[in-house]
Structure formats: C-alpha cells, structure tokens
Amino acid sequence: MQHEAPPTMNAPDPQARLAPPVIPQTPTARPAVPRRLRRVLCLDDFEALARRRLPRPVYGYMAGYAESGAAFDDNRAAFGDYAFLPQVMVDVSRRSTAVRLFGQDYAAPFGFAPLGLTALSTYRGDLVMARAAAQARLPMIMSGSSLIRLEEVAEAHPGAWFQAYLPGDRAAIVKLIDRVARTNFETMVVTVDTPVPPNTENTARSGFSAPLRPSLGLLWQGLTHPRWTFGAFLRTMAQHGMPHFENNYATRGAPILSPSVLRDFSERGHLNWDDLRAIRRQWRGRLIVKGILRADDARTARDAGADGIIVSNHGGRQLDGAIAPLRALPAIVQACPDIPVMLDGGVRRGTDILKAMALGAKMVFVGRPFGYAAAAAGPEGLRHAIGLLTREVSRDMAMLGITDLTQLDARRHLVARTAPAPYPSSATASSPAGTAA
C-alpha cells in the first residue's frame, strides 16, 4: 500500500527543478578541476587521498567492514556477474541522465547513501554533503549517526532524506519521529538491519572507538595528520564545541571524544514489524525501509506501509557473508513491482549504476566513495566525484545505445547474467533470480 507524501516545502521553482541536466559532450564543456584533483580519474582514486589525509582511526571507521570482509568484497564482485548487450548505430546525441523518483526529478540516477560520523572526517561534513547534493540536484540520505543536528541539515537541503536508527523503546521512537516531523524532512529512511551492534574488530584494530578515547596513540595520529587536525577537528572544536552524536534520539547523545562516557547503543533486538506499522501510523511523510535482502521481507515492509525499499547489506558492515544487494535485487523487484526499489552497496562506476537499473533499481546510492571525496577535498572533492560519475553514466548510456534511463526498464535484454545464479529460495522469489535479465 502506498501513502501520499505531503507537497514539498520550501522547494525551488518546479520548472527549474524539472529542467533536464546538461550532458557534457566535449572536454571543453567540463568544469575546471582543481590541480590537486587532476590525477583523480575515477571514484576509487579518492580513497588513497583520504587515507593519507585522515588519522588511522578515522579512516579505519570509514573503510571498516564486518569480520573477514566477505560481504564487503562480494558487493563489488556481484557486478562482475552481469554483462552488457549493447545496441549499436543508435542516435544517442541527445541523451539525458535525469530520472524521476517519488514525483521529484533528479539530475542523475545516483544519490548519497547515509554515512555516519561524516563531520569527524570533514569539517561540517553532513552540511558539505547536503549542499553538494542540493546543488547537483541529487538525493541525499542523512545518517542518524551524524554529529550535526538534523535540523541544520534539513535547512541546507530541504529535499534530503533522514535515516533513522530506531531507539529501543516505543516512547523514544515516538519522540524521535516527532522531532524529525518538525523539520523540512519529508522522507524518513528506517534502517532495519541493525538489531545488535556489529563485530567491530577491524575498526578496533585501527584504533577507533565510539566515543574516541584520548591516548598517546590518538595524539600522535593528530600530530602526524595536521591538515585534518587543524582543518577539521580543531576548527570544529573552536567554532562549534565538542561534537556529539546528535540524532540517534530526540535528545543529544554522547560526545565523540571522551575518556569515560559510553555511547548509548540501545538494545533493538526486540523490534519487529509492529514497530514499523506504528511508525507508519505516526509518520505522515514518505517512508522508506533500508536493509532488506529478502523478497518476503520486502513484501512485509510494503504491506506495513513502506513507500519504497532500499536493498542493502549495510555496505558489508553488519552481517559478514550476507548476500550482495545486487544479487538480491531482481527477486525483490519482482516481489514489489508497485513501489520503487533502490540499491546501495559496492557501487563505484557508471556501469554499476546501469546494471542495477537494468535489474530494476529506480535509484542507486553511493556511500564510502563520496565520504572519501569529501575527506580528501571538501566541496571541491564532491563536485569532482559527482562530475566523474555523471559523465561515466552518460558515456556508458551512449555505448549501450540508450538515450533515456527508462529504456533500461523496457529493454531488460541489455544486461545478461554471465555467472551461476545465487541460491534458489522461497525467501527470494517464486522463480530464481539468476535468469537472464
């Protein structure tokens, strides 16, 4: 069942928002690239820059994954299981990367996945990302584990979505939703794959904890990474005070740096579908459920009132060995044809985005690479990252022989599976997801 979302508040002129993006066709049409970013030729290149700039614990948190990293690795590997069947001799001179989702027009088929603690790696990171997404006309999901108050981010990007990590008791959930409802946020993304905290052994090895514990090692990391220390951490302290976890609850949470305070991870293991139904009754905006990997769960979420699904295994951060979102996507699209199904996890290239869309995704979200871009070069890094990925999508569309992304839905034979199908299961669909797309 679908629910009408309220009209967009404080939105720009609709005709301006609906204007198709300008697709650069020649090198001279591209915006100037700062000298320090001229060797950044794809999203993967940002990681090395971020790793050099960030202290080891901060980078370790951003790059971290659960246990052996099997789920993290397979998120990327899954895209290699599909190959394109391009059409040739098609006039693609007037192609557009624009997409329409939930009545909104976006300039490209990708958005910003929620990234926690962005303001630790980048000065005012959540605001930097919100402004970059708004300027580029892209969707952005603000993380509930952010260090900047959600009210500020909602002002910076009124069309952004808010990701909620549900507190452990119903009264606290009600208060959090009431708080979000008082802002410009009209879309709430409820993440459902975090019943307990994950195994943090890899981030612990990097020296990260939440909150961070003052130590000689942490001091050394600050001294040996002065650009981060003065450009992000001390600048934040001087202008805004000690960062806190601001949005897990209706009230402020723990500070990011403390020798004794513990972050308040409330137990969520008892939460169930009745809690989602209660949220649906309370929340009058658009409701998205993130963290679905099974078709039966997707149907239950839809029947409980979800307006959309994000297929995700939390970037490989939660259950190691969980199926890659791309492998789970076709069955979930088949199970819920009446609501938009989206995807995140392992996306690095324009070809990844087009493969996901050919398998039914209506939008694809990018996480770590945009975090690395912001950490490496702030707003300039994000603009360059968005430009690189948008041009890749446009170029790949041309070589695939399409001018509009809706043609991927109508011509599913443009992508074929080249690897064995994943396990057959009634939990995924009535027919295997591994048939040719």
The annotation status of 355 as a binding-site residue, yes or no, is no
Residue 374 identity = A
Whether 363 contacts 342, CB under 8 Å: yes
Name residue, tokens 């040996």: 224
Q: Pick the catalytic residue: 244, 314, 384, 413?
A: 314
Beta strands in 192-292 (DSSP E): 286-292
Peptide bond into 337 cis (omega under 30): no
The annotation status of 60 as a binding-site residue, yes or no, is no
Identify whether 314 is a catalytic site residue. Answer: yes
The annotation status of 347 as a binding-site residue, yes or no, is yes
Distance CA 131, CA 151 (A): 14
The annotation status of 368 as a binding-site residue, yes or no, is yes
Distance CA 197, CA 116 (A): 14
Residue 350 identity = G
The one-character DSSP state at 404 is S
Whether 154 contacts 185, CB under 8 Å: yes
Provide the b/e sequence for 365-399 (b: ≥16 CB within 10 Å): bbbbbbbbbbbbbbbbbbbbbbebbbbbbbbbbbe
The annotation status of 346 as a binding-site residue, yes or no, is yes
The annotation status of 217 as a binding-site residue, yes or no, is no
The annotation status of 266 as a binding-site residue, yes or no, is no
> Nearest-CA neighbor of 189 among 109, 134, 247?
247
In the annotated binding site, the residues are 61, 114-116, 143, 163, 165, 191, 290, 312, 314, 317, 344-348, 367-368
In the annotated binding site for FMN, the residues are 114-116, 143, 163, 191, 290, 312, 344-348, 367-368
In the annotated binding site for glyoxylate, the residues are 61, 165, 314, 317
Q: Which residues are annotated as catalytic?
A: 314
